């Protein structure tokens, strides 16, 4: 006879397998309908939306862009622990285990059906998850109950009554295979549905000047002057990217306007396009942090669209809504003060990648992304802050958040360095005014002026470097930028919340 503890373990495993099979098949169904309605992703996004801001900031600071992987991982681990408990309960009485599974799936259903934009079909992945999970647990529990371990009798015959132990094992393996195969198929399908077909972008009416050659080859370790699209930082609340069909997508303007408008993707392509080099920055970026990147954007001037609608006299914000109901508010005044704000449809010569807002997003130079850069945008409502609040406004982030003057040291980037002639180098930004000067301070000495790389306009970051003869010992390096109006990067430290970090980055290197 097997010991009771092993039997417990087997039931716990059945619970886990049943849950995996359920979520696997649920994930597959979601891939065919709406990937965001997948039970695991829906719960993950529910958790994101209800995580208190300080915890969220802590997670971003500690896990960086891995914060989502860690979140989904934790949700999964939590679910599996509960599923194991459901298995153990099922050992006592199947209905108790089943009841726990029902509760688990109910949470997922709640998560899927309380997202901002919901279709009835979004209930399907959860219901399928429940059916498969319950079915798998029932089969395994029943087989287990009827099974007897195979025992050799003294004369070498197999003595068995009911189902063999091997039968249960085969069934368990089958359930595991269903879980793995369906989960994998779901991934493949979601990915293939997400592929963006060939889109040829028109030439801009107002092209950007030729992009200058940066310092990339000359200063080892410096950030590339233009961020390769694949390396462009990504920040959003999503766990799965929306799948948008450009042919049926549209962008509308409503609210405090004289003529509500709606444009198709082709309508936008047919309008006069501008092309600009603009550096995007996230409000969550810490001093010296990675959430800043530069790209060449192609799009329709925001004011061209607003003018066609005719903005009324009361609006003070543009409340943008994305295809899934996420909202981002943009202060109307800076967005329309003559800077190159646009609804972008192209990035670095290609259609926007899905991670960066396909088919269209807002870009406003000089404002942090959370109040200016709505991705997957589908609607702009002219309204007031008094009347409507966007996602981050509800979470007490600032509504006015100009990007603060900043500089970042890219190199040296290790804690140790060999002595000798080298460079201190990095990037600095001061959108929409432009960087005029970067200075470097070594060991608290005088601020020394660094050499600047070429300029790609006032909305774009600037590379900089200072030759340095590194002598053995421990050294502290600091940098600060000054904009073209003479404003100097402040040394006053501020956290990202509520309107962006500030302070001077200080780096300590050991030279030997």
Ligand X SMILES: Nc1nc2c(c(=O)[nH]1)N[C@H]1C(S)=C(S)[C@@H](COP(=O)(O)O)O[C@H]1N2
Binding site residues, ligand X, CB under 6 A: 232-237, 280, 282, 322, 326, 328, 356, 369-370, 373-376
| Using rule CB under 5 A, residue 392 touches Mo ion | no
Q: Which two tokens stand for residue 321?
A: 């809504």
Q: Which is nearer to ligand X, 24 or 369 (CB)?
A: 369
Q: Which is nearer to ligand X, 14 or 370 (CB)?
A: 370
- CB under 5 to 8 A by kind: which of Mo ion, ligand X, none does 475 bind? none
- CB under 5 to 8 A by kind: which of Mo ion, ligand X, none does 425 bind? none
| Using rule CB under 5 A, residue 186 touches Mo ion | no
The position carrying tokens 């070498």 is 156
| Using rule CB under 5 A, residue 235 touches Mo ion | yes
Q: Which is nearer to ligand X, 182 or 320 (CB)?
A: 320
Least Å distance, CB 135 to ligand X, is: 37
Q: Which two tokens stand for residue 505?
A: 């980055």
CA distance 270 to 69: 39
CB nearest Mo ion: which residue? 282
CA distance 494 to 504: 10
Residues sharing a CB contact under 8 Å with residue 199, sequence separation 6 or more, in sequence order: 246, 351
CA distance 108 to 130: 10
Q: Which is nearer to Mo ion, 51 or 384 (CB)?
A: 51
Q: Which stretch binds Mo ion (CB under 5 A): 230-238, 245-253, 272-280, 319-327?
A: 230-238
Q: Which is nearer to ligand X, 140 or 390 (CB)?
A: 390
CA distance 334 to 433: 13
Least Å distance, CB 5 to ligand X, is: 47
CA distance 505 to 480: 8
Q: Are 16 and 170 in contact (CB under 8 A)?
A: no
Q: Are 54 and 62 in contact (CB under 8 A)?
A: no
| Using rule CB under 5 A, residue 178 touches Mo ion | no
CA distance 183 to 175: 12
Least Å distance, CB 149 to Mo ion, is: 58
Strand 261-264 to 163-164 pairing = unpaired
Q: Which stretch binds Mo ion (CB under 5 A): 41-49, 92-100, 279-287, 354-362?
A: 279-287
CA distance 402 to 216: 28
CA distance 365 to 196: 27
Instruction: Give the residue from 266, 262, 270, 268 showing the smallest Cα distance to 378.
Output: 262
Least Å distance, CB 56 to Mo ion, is: 11
Q: Which is nearer to ligand X, 376 or 468 (CB)?
A: 376
- CB under 5 to 8 A by kind: which of Mo ion, ligand X, none does 236 bind? ligand X
Contact string 357-376 vs Mo ion (x = CB under 5 A): ------------xx------
The position carrying tokens 């209800």 is 50
Three-class SS of 209-264: CCCCCCCCCCCCCCCCCCCCHHHCCCCCCCCCCCCCCCCCCEEEEEECECCCEEEE
Least Å distance, CB 233 to Mo ion, is: 9
Q: Strand (E) positions, 256-307?
A: 261-264, 273-281, 292-301
Q: Which two tokens stand for residue 163?
A: 């189902």
Q: Please list the alpha-helical segments (H only) found in 93-164.
A: 94-113, 124-146
- CB under 5 to 8 A by kind: which of Mo ion, ligand X, none does 27 bind? none
Size of the site for Mo ion (CB under 5 A): 5
Phi, psi angle pair for 190, to nearest 5°: -60, -40
Least Å distance, CB 285 to ligand X, is: 8
Q: Which is nearer to Mo ion, 489 or 501 (CB)?
A: 501
- CB under 5 to 8 A by kind: which of ligand X, Mo ion, none does 322 bind? ligand X
- CB under 5 to 8 A by kind: which of Mo ion, ligand X, none does 232 bind? ligand X
| Using rule CB under 5 A, residue 282 touches Mo ion | yes
Q: Which is nearer to Mo ion, 147 or 431 (CB)?
A: 431
Q: What's the distance, CA 248 to chain centroid?
A: 24
Least Å distance, CB 381 to ligand X, is: 14
- CB under 5 to 8 A by kind: which of Mo ion, ligand X, none does 234 bind? ligand X
Least Å distance, CB 294 to Mo ion, is: 16
Least Å distance, CB 21 to ligand X, is: 32
Q: Which is nearer to ligand X, 315 or 401 (CB)?
A: 401
Least Å distance, CB 48 to ligand X, is: 10
Strand 447-449 to 451-452 pairing = unpaired
Q: Which is nearer to ligand X, 65 or 262 (CB)?
A: 65
Q: Which is nearer to ligand X, 83 or 302 (CB)?
A: 302
SS3 415: coil
The residues binding Mo ion (CB under 5 A) are 235, 282-283, 369-370
């Amino acid at each position: 006879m097997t010991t009771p503890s092993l039997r417990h373990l087997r039931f716990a495993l059945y619970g886990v397998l049943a849950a995996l099979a359920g979520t696997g098949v649920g994930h597959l169904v979601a891939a065919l309908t709406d990937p965001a309605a997948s039970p695991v992703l829906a719960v993950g996004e529910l958790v994101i939306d209800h995580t208190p801001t300080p915890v969220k900031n802590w997670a971003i600071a500690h896990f960086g862009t891995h914060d989502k992987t860690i979140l989904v991982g934790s949700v999964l681990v939590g679910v599996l622990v509960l599923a194991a408990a459901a298995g153990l309960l099922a050992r006592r009485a199947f209905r108790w285990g089943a009841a726990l599974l029902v509760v688990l799936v109910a949470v997922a259903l709640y998560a899927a059906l309380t997202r901002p934009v919901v279709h009835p079909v979004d209930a399907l992945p959860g219901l399928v998850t429940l059916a498969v999970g319950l079915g798998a647990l029932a089969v395994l529990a029943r087989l287990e109950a009827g099974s007897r371990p195979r025992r050799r009798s003294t004369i070498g015959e197999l003595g068995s009554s009911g189902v063999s132990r091997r039968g249960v094992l085969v069934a368990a393996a089958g359930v595991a295979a269903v879980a793995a195969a369906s989960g994998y198929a779901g991934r493949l399908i979601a990915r293939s549905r997400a592929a963006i077909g060939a889109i040829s972008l028109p030439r801009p009416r107002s092209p950007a000047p030729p992009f200058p050659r940066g310092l990339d080859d000359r200063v080892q370790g410096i950030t590339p002057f233009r961020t390769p699209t694949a390396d462009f930082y990504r920040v959003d609340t999503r766990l799965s990217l929306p799948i948008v069909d450009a042919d049926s997508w549209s962008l509308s303007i409503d609210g405090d306007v004289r003529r509500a408008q709606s444009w198709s993707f082709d309508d936008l392509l047919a309008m006069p396009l501008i092309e600009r080099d603009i550096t995007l920055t996230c409000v969550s970026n810490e001093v010296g942090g990675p959430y800043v990147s530069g790209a060449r954007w192609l799009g329709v001037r925001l004011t061209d669209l607003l003018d066609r609608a005719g903005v009324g006299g009361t609006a003070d914000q543009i409340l943008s809504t994305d295809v899934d109901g996420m909202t981002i508010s943009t202060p109307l005044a800076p967005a329309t003060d003559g800077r190159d704000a646009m609804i972008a449809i192209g990035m670095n010569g290609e259609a926007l990648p899905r991670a960066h807002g396909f088919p269209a997003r807002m870009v406003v130079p000089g404002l942090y992304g959370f109040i200016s850069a709505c991705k997957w945008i589908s609607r702009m409502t002219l309204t007031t802050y008094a009347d409507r609040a966007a996602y981050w406004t509800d979470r007490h982030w600032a509504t006015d958040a100009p990007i603060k003057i900043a500089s970042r040291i890219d190199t040296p980037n290790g804690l140790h360095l060999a002595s000798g002639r080298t460079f201190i180098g990095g990037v600095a930004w001061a959108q929409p005014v432009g960087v005029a000067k970067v200075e470097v301070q070594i060991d608290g000495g005088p601020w020394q002026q660094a050499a600047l790389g070429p300029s790609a306009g006032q909305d774009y970051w600037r590379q900089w470097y200072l030759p340095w003869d590194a002598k053995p010992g421990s050294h502290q390096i600091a940098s600060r930028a000054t904009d073209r109006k003479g404003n100097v990067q402040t040394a006053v430290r501020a956290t990202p919340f509520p309107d962006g970090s500030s302070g001077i980055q200080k780096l300590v290197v050991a030279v030997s």
